[in-house]
Amino acid sequence: MTAIEILRKKRDGHALSPSEINFIIDAYANGHVPDYQMSALLMAVYLNGMSAEEMGALTQAMIGSGDVLDLAGIPGRKIDKHSTGGVGDKTSLILAPVAAAAGVKVPMISGRGLGHTGGTLDKLESIPGFQVNLPVDRFRRGVEKIGLCLIGQTDQLVPADRNLYALRDVTATVESIPLIVASIMSKKLAEGIDGLVLDVKVGRGAFMTTDRQAAELADALVATGRSMGKDVVALITAMDQPLGHNVGNALEVVESIATLRGEGPEDLTTLSVELAAEMIHMAALAPDLSAARRLARRQIENGRALAIFRNCIAFQGGDARVVDEPERLPRARGTMSLVADQSGYLTVIDAAAVGMASLLLGGGRLRKEDPIDPAVGIVLQAKEGDPVAAGQVLAEIHYNDEAKKDEARRRLDGAFRISDQPVPSPPLLRNRING
Amino acid sequence: MTAIEILRKKRDGHALSPSEINFIIDAYANGHVPDYQMSALLMAVYLNGMSAEEMGALTQAMIGSGDVLDLAGIPGRKIDKHSTGGVGDKTSLILAPVAAAAGVKVPMISGRGLGHTGGTLDKLESIPGFQVNLPVDRFRRGVEKIGLCLIGQTDQLVPADRNLYALRDVTATVESIPLIVASIMSKKLAEGIDGLVLDVKVGRGAFMTTDRQAAELADALVATGRSMGKDVVALITAMDQPLGHNVGNALEVVESIATLRGEGPEDLTTLSVELAAEMIHMAALAPDLSAARRLARRQIENGRALAIFRNCIAFQGGDARVVDEPERLPRARGTMSLVADQSGYLTVIDAAAVGMASLLLGGGRLRKEDPIDPAVGIVLQAKEGDPVAAGQVLAEIHYNDEAKKDEARRRLDGAFRISDQPVPSPPLLRNRING
């Protein structure tokens, strides 16, 4: 078996066998297959696709490139959630404590923001002292004791993904469903979980912009997880406008805390509860989804979810006082209002533009090495469908740097559209795929 | 303009602009675009193709990576020939002296053999002392004074092709018409020629195994050359059985000399005369192809072509006495006969198997670094269509190493097929494409 033979086979549109996929991933990890052969294979996979069996084998081979966490010693079902990335998407910070409060064990390994989408780790790190790099033993203790622990990728889990992802990034092979599936599922299944709830975003601010693309990705993710013996369910949810009102790291922590108090915006609360309910249901802690939803909402109403978030922050070295005194979180020096230039109905808030504006303020990164300003961001004062009057504030820019504020402002030109007639927004919860 | 944007465009099936193609070839040549991006682009080109305009732009960009020979000072039309590679194909050694004898200037830059096909340089180097690496000035002098000069690729001509070819070889992107066209045409047009005669091989022993593939390649080669203002014509010719009787470096020189004496096998003589006639006609030294054919044959009959070959060998440092005393060429220590195991008609001599057998004897190379044994090879004693009797010698293996002889012998098992009834062979000259 040689890399060339495997390349030729995929080039000619044939399916690779599990042993061929293992060989190439292993040889790449060991440096026996150079980047230039792997990148040619990535392009062939991008253009010729992969079967469900190939995706499963690729996921398995990538998991095999490193360790798999052993969480078997922790009683209870271990369930995680993964989102394909959105703007203002802080559901992890809400649903993880909610699910944990209901008895789910949530071992969550998250990523950082890249491009216009935010990352859970960056949001958590805006809490003073919060540590996202914990030794595996302490991570395990957190899951067992508190019910959740939120950390970053370790060097030992799926090392093949780091190299492959970096290569995909520079060879225009990121947007390939088989490669996305293997990257997501290998990292999640290496966590040693029993089940996974997926939030596949669709819309202007998402990676997948059409329902068809999103359904194709969701199907592939669910099928691959199932083929590996895991419970997997995917919700396809709207990402046209930002989720909630706040975009930016500390600003999103503030809104998450409000939502855990039962004072969150409707869309964010609905989606967080829905995803938490899926986790609760998957953990067999409720007989059906309606009961799981009620159980989830109760964890907010009775304050248990907020208490668990407080414990989680403390366990991970953060200043848990932020939960009750959000002013302890970093705040930007200046704010500037964006106002409506006409009266009517707000029909569009372009999530991608808002996400890019937040990035330009310093809240995100274009390259992995870029530093993050935790304080900056955008706070929406109206949402799609709201009636607005000329001169009314649509959003506030929280900034630390005048020049960046101007850049962000320019980016927001045209991000808001006001029409004479209301236009019904597409539903937030679009579809549920459970194999 | 970035490599990623260009990759994405070709990945998505769009045509690249000349400036995009120039950018990427230039950046690759300068080391600004790494191998892994170029190999992903090569795979995208392999799978999504290139338009005629893109092939022209790629050829031009590759020529621009190095120098172009200036042969303008040499009076007369400069015409070269290129073959896509065959077994026993020694036509260059015959047609170049024939065309030169008729007044064509033949500046021929050739390659080495790789895989089962032979290379002109390896054949010439079997002549003791023959130098294929000449300074450009001496090459120019040879073309002007003798009418032909036969050398190898210089470092200054199309350096981009060397790197790209090496990368294609290890990324399963060799068999791509746009990449083949740009590789061939850039090297040939950098010679500073006015016109080019192409011999596109089709059949069992050729790179292109079907008439459709061969016609597609020939069309693309001719169109690309024409778009760059050159005269180009392509003959599509059979490469099912080896051309002539001799396969192997010195053995092919012996047969070339016999052909220049008018004592060559019919197929080799016919094809050499036909290609030389195209060159003579392209150089406007004959009013039509029939007259050009007659002029070519006359150069053999009157001994002028042989005299020119003698001069060429001497000019390039070789022992010109080999022309009259072929026993001065390297000869293998042993010969072994392969005999017919039944009576009937020889219907198949598999050129690829014969080429591989010659390679295994030491006459070719699997890797560029492999040394060549000039003496070894195969001499056919019968050709397709011949009636043969059981026990009759079909071929002789010329070998220097017993183990290699046994390997070659095994490779020849099944290379010869004898049937009760004669099967008409497909015609040698298949098609002529002149745009």
- The token duo for B281 is 């006609």
Q: Which residues of B touch A31 (CB under 8 A)?
A: none
Catalytic machinery residues of A: 82, 161, 168, 183, 187
Q: Tell me which residue in B11, B35, B167 faces A43 most closely, judged by beta carbons.
A: B11
pLDDT of residue B188: 94
CB contact under 8 A, B42 and A42: no
CB contact under 8 A, A40 and B7: no
d(CA B199, CA B85): 8
Q: Tell me which residue in A40, A46, A47 faces B39 most closely, judged by beta carbons.
A: A40
pLDDT of residue B27: 95
CA distance to partner chain B, nearest, from residue A128 (Å): 38
Q: Which residues of B touch A36 (CB under 8 A)?
A: 34-36, 38-39, 167, 170-171
CB contact under 8 A, B40 and A35: no
Q: Does B433 lie at the interface with A, CB-CB under 8 angstroms?
A: no
For B337-386, what is each residue's pLDDT tens digit? Answer: 999 999 999 999 999 999 999 999 999 987 777 889 999 999 999 999 99
> In b/e form, how buried is each residue of A235-269, taking b as 16+ CB within 10 angstroms?
bbbbbbbbbbbbbbbbbbbbbbbbbbeeebbebbb
Q: Does A389 lie at the interface with B, CB-CB under 8 angstroms?
A: no
Instruction: Return contacts of A208-215, CB within 8 angstroms, 24+ apart.
Output: A208/A84, A211/A236, A211/A430, A211/A431, A214/A430, A214/A431, A215/A431, A215/A433
Which of B8, B9, B36 is best to mutate for the A interface (most A CBs within 10 A)?
Answer: B36
Q: Does A39 lie at the interface with B, CB-CB under 8 angstroms?
A: yes
Q: Does B174 lie at the interface with A, CB-CB under 8 angstroms?
A: no
> Rounded to an integer, what is the distance from CA B31 to the centroid of its chain?
31
CB contact under 8 A, B35 and A40: no
The model's confidence at residue A374, banded by pLDDT at 50, 70 and 90, is very high
Q: Has residue A199 got a pLDDT over 90?
A: yes
Query: What amino acid occupies position A47?
Result: L
Nearest to A29 by CA among A136, A196, A156, A119: A156
Q: What is the pTM of this model?
A: 0.85
CA atoms within 13 A on the CB side of B116: 22
**Averaged pLDDT score across all residues of chain A:** 95
| CA angle A337–A340–A342, rounded 5-degree value | 160
The chain B residue lying nearest A5, using CA atoms, is: B172
d(CA A434, CA A139): 29
Q: Which residues of B touch A4 (CB under 8 A)?
A: 170-172
CB contact under 8 A, A36 and B11: no
Q: Does B34 lie at the interface with A, CB-CB under 8 angstroms?
A: yes
The model's confidence at residue A312, banded by pLDDT at 50, 70 and 90, is very high
pLDDT of residue B352: 95
CB contact under 8 A, A46 and B11: yes
Residue ranges and CATH numbers for the domains of chain A are 3-49 (1.20.970.10), 79-326 (3.40.1030.10), 331-419 (3.90.1170.30)
Give the single-character DSSP code of B105.
Answer: B
Q: Which residues of B touch A167 (CB under 8 A)?
A: 36
pLDDT of residue A166: 87
**Averaged pLDDT score across all residues of chain B:** 95
pLDDT of residue B44: 98
CA distance to partner chain B, nearest, from residue A7 (Å): 6
Which of A1, A14, A20, A39 is best to mutate for the B interface (most B CBs within 10 A)?
Answer: A39
d(CA A115, CA A356): 7
- ipTM beyond 0.90? no
> In b/e form, how buried is each residue of B169-196, taking b as 16+ CB within 10 angstroms?
ebbbbbebbbbbbbbbbbbbbbbbbbbb
Residues 6+ apart with CB under 8 A from B310: B320, B323
Low-confidence ranges of chain B (pLDDT < 70): none
The model's confidence at residue A256, banded by pLDDT at 50, 70 and 90, is very high
- C-alpha distance from residue A429 to each of A231, A341, A385 (Å): 20, 31, 17
Per DSSP, the residues of A123-138 read HHTTSTT------HHH
Sign of CA dihedral B194, B30, B178, B123: positive
Nearest to A213 by CA among A236, A188, A231: A236
The chain A residue lying nearest B167, using CA atoms, is: A36
Q: Give the strands of the sheet with A393-399, arranged side by side.
A: A246-247, A377-380, A393-399, A334-339
Residues 6+ apart with CB under 8 A from B348: B240, B241, B384, B415, B416, B417
d(CA A221, CA A264): 30
For A5-15, what is each residue's pLDDT tens digit? Answer: 999 999 999 99
Q: Which of A45-54, A153-162, B276-285, B326-335 has the lowest mean pLDDT?
A: A153-162
CB contact under 8 A, A36 and B170: yes
Catalytic machinery residues of B: 82, 161, 168, 183, 187
d(CA A351, CA A354): 5
Q: Which residues of B touch A47 (CB under 8 A)?
A: 11, 43-44, 47-48
Q: Give the strands of the sheet with A195-202, arranged side by side.
A: A79-83, A195-202, A231-238, A429-433
For A317-373, what is each residue's pLDDT tens digit? Answer: 999 999 999 999 999 999 999 999 999 999 999 999 999 999 999 999 877 778 899
Q: CB pairs below 8 Å between A and B: how many?
A: 76
The chain B residue lying nearest A173, using CA atoms, is: B8
- C-alpha distance from residue A342 to each of A423, A424, B356 (Å): 16, 19, 79
Nearest to A151 by CA among A121, A185, A129: A121
Neighbours of A435 (CB within 10 A): 12
Q: Does A308 lie at the interface with B, CB-CB under 8 angstroms?
A: no
Q: Give the strands of the sheet with A416-419, arranged side by side.
A: A387-388, A344-349, A416-419
CA distance to partner chain A, nearest, from residue B7 (Å): 6
